[in-house]
Structure 1
Amino acid sequence: MGFAMSTAAAPSPPVQLCMQDKYVVMDNGILQVTISNPEGNVTGIQYNDIDNLLEVENEEPNRGYWDLVWNAEGTKGTKGKFDRLEGTKFQIIVENEDQVEISFTRMWDPSLEGNVVPLNIEKRFVMLRGSSGFYTYGIYEHLKEWPGFNLDRNRIAFKLRKDKFHYMAIADNRQRKMPLPEDRLPYRSQRLAYPEAVILIDPLEKEFTGEVDDKYQYSCENKDNMVHGWICTEPPVGFWQITPSNEFRTAGPVKQNLTSHVGPTTLAVLHSVHYTGEELVLRFGSNEAWKKVFGPIFVYLNSLTNGGDPPEILWDDAKKQMMNEVQCWPYSFPASEDFPHSDERGTVSGRLLVRDCFVSGEEIPADGAYVGLAPPGDVGSWQREVKGYQFWTIADADGCFSINNVRIGDYNLYAWAPGFIGDYRYDCVITTTPAYEIVLGDLVYEPPRDGPTLWEIGIPDRSAREFYVPDPDPKYINKLYVNHPDRFRQYGLWERYAELYPDEDLVYTVGTSDYRKDWFFAQVTRKKADNTYEGTTWQIKFRLECVNPSGTYKLRLALATAHVAELQVRVNDPSMNPPLFTSGRIGKDNTIARHGIHGLYWLFSVDVPGNLLLEGDNNTIFLTQARSESPFQGIMYDYIRLEGPPT
């Protein structure tokens, strides 16, 4: 067996740039990439005797392109105007035997107001000698005197040939042969309650009959979204999108984005509001200057020259190539002065410890903590930050961390540690400088804590993954997720709650119940006989050996997501009015409908007066999700803890 690898064993031919009437072609002897001039849309990719890997039945602008969705300043919601980012000017930036870099720009002026997003857009494409692929990156700029606007979505899309690419791979355990785009046509499928989801009723290939197809079932967290793509088996060819750094992506390492889906389509989502809602819309004022580089993204092609199993071998090679790209980051070849190379970046290192005297008498190394630099803001603001760059790493077993290749700028250092609630922020603003390491030494995080733990439910990891996720309704199956650790990705799980609890809501008894079996992963609405919905009230029953009636107890409620929800808390009186606590309306994450196990993280701390509690077994906390206009409203809990009064 063998590959067409990214670096050929024999001397590679030089990179060439061919100018045609309405196109430019980059050619390094391994592949040819045809791009429309001056629009900058990728219209063709020739590789391994396939004349075009992109969908030839699509119009040329609908094959490989950048786009975004935007709206005028002050607009509410997450819908907007679609803007395919097509250039009006072509320029050669670098042209030699080892590298070609070309640019397609669209400059904004007042005559375009209302028609296109008020940004200067520059898209660049790079091809290197001996490389089995090409790179693309973008530079966006908003000048201070220009109109304000909102930006909802920003992405790069490639639509591949449906007659060749049928096998999709996102992770070792998330890959499969996929349905065809025609299978989603109205006469071959049935649309479900959430519009992107369909049941395949009469697919062209009968093996998919009865399956659910939904692009959100293939979402991925930024930290894991580094390589994904498609495989053609005749001939064996892989098309991969590799993202070696998340520095330009928004909202941190666990923000979820779309990847590949039926089309066959592969996406590099640079910014979106999925799993977060309107809070992540980029909002620019009319007096706000901004500039950002998105990418480079690497489009990698590989092929199997003889023998072996194409999906396994091509996927394994794509992962190796991804690691090579990570090792090469930041790339040395981009010619834009807006992309700093390694000697123009800095490093921040230190050690994070956790101080919780109710867990240990000594400071605890923050093993596995996520530690990152993001623009200055409030505690936890990184998960809603959308305009700047972020740099994240994971602390080792001793809590030590090193954040490398940081762009010059001002940052706060943020962190959270699995096993502990809340967020850490280093109070001093950190200013990075080129080729210099800032050593912070020992940093101590004191998570929210007033008193000893009386009881707890779940694991503080910002996810509802550990709770009970039911089997899907048999009519809503995606075969990939049968007996899969990501069982929460099946469609329609919200409907199972009313089936499991048709008359009475969930009751959890501390010390007897097991949250892995007895705590439903999402507190959702219940559909009534008249097809309306009602809120639900869950009960936590617990025993207290003794009660300090003059003390204040603390209920910690960490939420993994919320969607148009309102969480109310009552203690030992289900009719308490007003409730002891209400969150008010929170969240628009759409996590429940889009098969995610978390969205934005929320932490509420509720004071519980001791005189509301009873000695013995007769204590009940009532958790009501009061909003009930749709089946998708609700919350997912991350972790719940009741603390005794301070000691």
Structure 2
Amino acid sequence: MAAAVQLFIQDDQVVIDNGLVQLTITNPGGIIIGIQYGGIDNLVELNNPSLNGGFWDLNWSETGSSTTRGQFDTIEGTTFRVIVESDEQVELSFSRMWDPSLQGEHAPLSIDKRFILLRGCSGFYSYAIYERDEDMPAFNLNETRIAFMLNIQKFRYMALSDDRQRYMPLPDDRLPPRGKELAYPEAVLLVDPIEPEFRGEVDDKYQYSCENKDNQVHGFICFEPPVGFWQITPSNEFRTGGPIKQDLTSHVNPTTLAMFVSTHYGGLDLVIKFDKGEPWKKVFGPVFIYLNSASDKSEAITLLWDDAKRQRNQEVQSWPYSFPASEDFPKTDERGSVSGRLLVQDRYTSEELTLANGAYIGLAPPGEIGSFQKECKGYQFWTKADSQGCFSIDNICRGTYNLFAWVPGFIGDYRSESTISITAGCKTDLGDLVFEPPRDGPTLWEIGIPDRSAAEFYIPDPNPLYINKLLINLPAHRFRQYGLWERYADLYPDNDLAFTVGISDFQKDWFYAHVNRRIGDNVFQSATWQIKFEVDNVVQSGTYSLRIALSSANYSELQVRVNDSEVNPPHFTTGVIGSDNAIARHGIHGLYWLFNIDILSSQLLQGYNVIYLTQAKDDTALHGIMYDYIRMECPAPDNSSED
């Protein structure tokens, strides 16, 4: 039988031990300074210049801030409590209540960090309760997470997925003179690494990002002895931004993260802004830190990774957990479910209703169409519809929601007309729901695939001087190589991209990102792309529709002109939009934007026409957009004469 869980309380630290894992946590700070497992005295690093061990942290700023970065806070607790102590389980609390005298030094939040160790469990759980009341001042929450800085000498092999695994450089390799900073601090060229095999590679933590829906298990492997350290997130309900919001995972240092709130791949739109006296409470987690070992060193990678995935599946099946003691974490019988079927009605592609095969369907706090991707204060619950458009979402926390959805192959967003109330134990059948995607008339031409990604467009080979070897033979991840935006000027040194409908192939002839061309040191020139097309017979009695879906925008302004590249003002402008920085951070998408532009028949010519697309912000190389899909629609046929 597994050993009982034991608790040892000292003046400045607390130790919990179940015979497999021993945790040492500062008292009352709640910082993990020791993880003993598998013959290793301490899995975490304590000798870094700044961040060490395992800790919750946040980044916050004063209200009105126009940036996504502010003050960094490792959330040192001031009060320690034993919540549960038994042979089967120990749950500890390290809390910090809001103190008005510390205004300006701490974020106006009360935070309760919890750690749980169970009998026979090869790992531990952590969650935190963040709370605001009516007496707290306004502020912005930019980021919060739990982070682990692992033993530098022990953990050198990182695994994120079946195809993204590798030995990692050392932290010193990133520092001058061994490393050379590139366009931004996170991207470093390894010019003289300690281990020569890494020479000439680019290291950038954003190359290891992952979408929320896929970000369930990642971590590091030690080989002497063979031990794995894995961060497992069994649910996305407490993460922000929806299922395809991207975020960090693990990276050099070695560092393993569980991200809960961040502005990565979203920018200012994902900052949580609290008004003065605005109450709020949210539980982040629990997440599971799983530790495993292998007896066969030669097969350690396969054995440890496969076992971590098995444990991931077990944790997902066990959600919501029954053992967290806080009443703020709702158990299974306190939650509800919804089910239904989503259909698509697009009369210009099919006279019949279309099954929403593979649709992303979720519940999020009430808001405007598409608001879920910028929603950060509440909980979200997502699933994918089956081939028949049927869906079921279980274990939904009590509350009021809208149902949101989008369907690959169709532009736009679905949102339920009425809100949905979830109560304990409810099983709500929504029946058949019909999504009518934006459409005014039949398609004249289209470019791309409406899937909220630029992955189908031309992604160039990386500059040989800036390569991450892991990504060379991974076609699905080729967009993660550093500096691909700079290849635009190599491919189009003099004239900008011109795409001819019916002749050009968007997979080969449409560059993945509409960026500026470098023409000198820190001097850039806006690029104007052309879409050339023919109209056999211009419909004089109607209005054409140009629909432009963007998968990313970073401090950009898209201007649209029709058959006149010089007209000012342009026929349409988005204004300055976006701050998702997805181009620099190797993300093939950021936030989704959809623009519907009316084009009068008088603006079109019988025969040859050109639409000019200009990204007008030319301050840096990284101001740019990524397209998801473009479609020109003819005016709707006049059926007034029909019986």
- What TM-score do you get using the length of structure 1 for normalisation? 0.97
Counterpart of 1:7 in structure 2 is none
Counterpart of 1:634 in structure 2 is 624
Q: Deviations over 1:156-205 (max 9, x none)?
A: 11000111100001111111000000101111011101221110011010
Asked if the contact 2:247–2:262 (Cα under 8 Å) also holds between the matched residues in 1, the reply is: yes
Q: 1:575 offset after TM fit, Å?
A: 1.3
Counterpart of 2:603 in structure 1 is 612
User: Aligned partners of 1:18 and 1:386: how far apart in 2?
Assistant: 38
Asked if the contact 2:466–2:482 (Cα under 8 Å) also holds between the matched residues in 1, the reply is: yes
Out of 212, 229, 239, the position equivalent to 2:219 is 229
Q: Confirm whether residue 180 of structure 1 aligns to residue 177 of structure 2.
A: no
Out of 438, 458, 466, the position equivalent to 2:456 is 466
User: Aligned partners of 2:211 and 2:172: how far apart in 1?
Assistant: 29
Asked if the contact 2:341–2:432 (Cα under 8 Å) also holds between the matched residues in 1, the reply is: yes
Counterpart of 1:291 in structure 2 is 281
User: Aligned partners of 1:109 and 1:314: how far apart in 2?
Assistant: 45
Counterpart of 2:560 in structure 1 is 569
Pairing 1:71-470 to 2, within 5 Å after superposition: 71-306=61-296, 308-470=298-460
User: What stretches of structure 1 of length at least 5 have no aligned partner?
Assistant: 1-10
Aligned partner letter, 1:566: E
User: Aligned partners of 2:631 and 2:534: how far apart in 1?
Assistant: 14
Counterpart of 1:491 in structure 2 is 482
User: Aligned partners of 1:359 and 1:394: how far apart in 2?
Assistant: 23
Counterpart of 1:5 in structure 2 is none
Counterpart of 1:504 in structure 2 is 495
Q: Confirm whether residue 582 of structure 1 aligns to residue 593 of structure 2.
A: no
Aligned partner letter, 1:417: V
User: Aligned partners of 1:199 and 1:528: how far apart in 2?
Assistant: 23
RMSD over equivalenced CA pairs, Å: 1.0
Q: 1:74 offset after TM fit, Å?
A: 2.0
Q: 1:578 offset after TM fit, Å?
A: 1.6
Q: Name the CA shift for 1:267/1:115 in 2 (closer, same or farther; >3 Å).
A: same
Counterpart of 1:552 in structure 2 is 543
Asked if the contact 2:226–2:297 (Cα under 8 Å) also holds between the matched residues in 1, the reply is: no
Counterpart of 1:4 in structure 2 is none
Asked if the contact 1:549–1:613 (Cα under 8 Å) also holds between the matched residues in 2, the reply is: no
Q: Secondary structure at the match of 1:316?
A: helix
User: Aligned partners of 1:577 and 1:39: how far apart in 2?
Assistant: 60
When structure 1 is superposed on structure 2, of 364-373 and 11-20 the one drifting more is 11-20
User: Aligned partners of 1:315 and 1:196: how far apart in 2?
Assistant: 27
Q: Secondary structure at the match of 2:95?
A: strand
Counterpart of 1:54 in structure 2 is 44
Q: Deviations over 1:113-154 (max 9, x none)?
A: 111111111000001111100000000101112111101010
Q: Deviations over 1:447-490 (max 9, x none)?
A: 00000011110000000000000000000000011021210000
User: Aligned partners of 2:155 and 2:298: how far apart in 1?
Assistant: 18
Q: 1:312 offset after TM fit, Å?
A: 1.6
Q: Secondary structure at the match of 2:417?
A: strand
Q: Deviations over 1:572-611 (max 9, x none)?
A: 1111222111001011111111110000000000001111
The number of residue pairs the alignment matches comes to: 636
- What TM-score do you get using the length of structure 2 for normalisation? 0.98
User: Aligned partners of 1:60 and 1:637: how far apart in 2?
Assistant: 40
User: Aligned partners of 2:285 and 2:379: how far apart in 1?
Assistant: 12
Asked if the contact 2:174–2:188 (Cα under 8 Å) also holds between the matched residues in 1, the reply is: yes
Q: 1:61 offset after TM fit, Å?
A: 6.6
Q: Deviations over 1:521-558 (max 9, x none)?
A: 00000111364111110001112221112320000100
Aligned partner letter, 2:531: I
Q: Confirm whether residue 542 of structure 1 aligns to residue 533 of structure 2.
A: yes
Asked if the contact 1:190–1:198 (Cα under 8 Å) also holds between the matched residues in 2, the reply is: yes
Q: Secondary structure at the match of 1:523?
A: coil
When structure 1 is superposed on structure 2, of 624-633 and 572-581 the one drifting more is 572-581
Percent identity reads 63
User: Aligned partners of 2:490 and 2:174: how far apart in 1?
Assistant: 29
Out of 594, 598, 603, the position equivalent to 1:603 is 594
Q: Secondary structure at the match of 1:299?
A: strand
User: Aligned partners of 2:80 and 2:72: how far apart in 1?
Assistant: 23
Q: 1:307 offset after TM fit, Å?
A: 5.2
User: Aligned partners of 1:606 and 1:356: how far apart in 2?
Assistant: 19
Counterpart of 2:640 in structure 1 is none
User: Aligned partners of 1:609 and 1:114: how far apart in 2?
Assistant: 55
When structure 1 is superposed on structure 2, of 187-196 and 381-390 the one drifting more is 187-196
User: What stretches of structure 2 of length at least 5 have no aligned partner?
Assistant: 638-643
Aligned partner letter, 2:519: K
User: Aligned partners of 1:644 and 1:579: how far apart in 2?
Assistant: 21
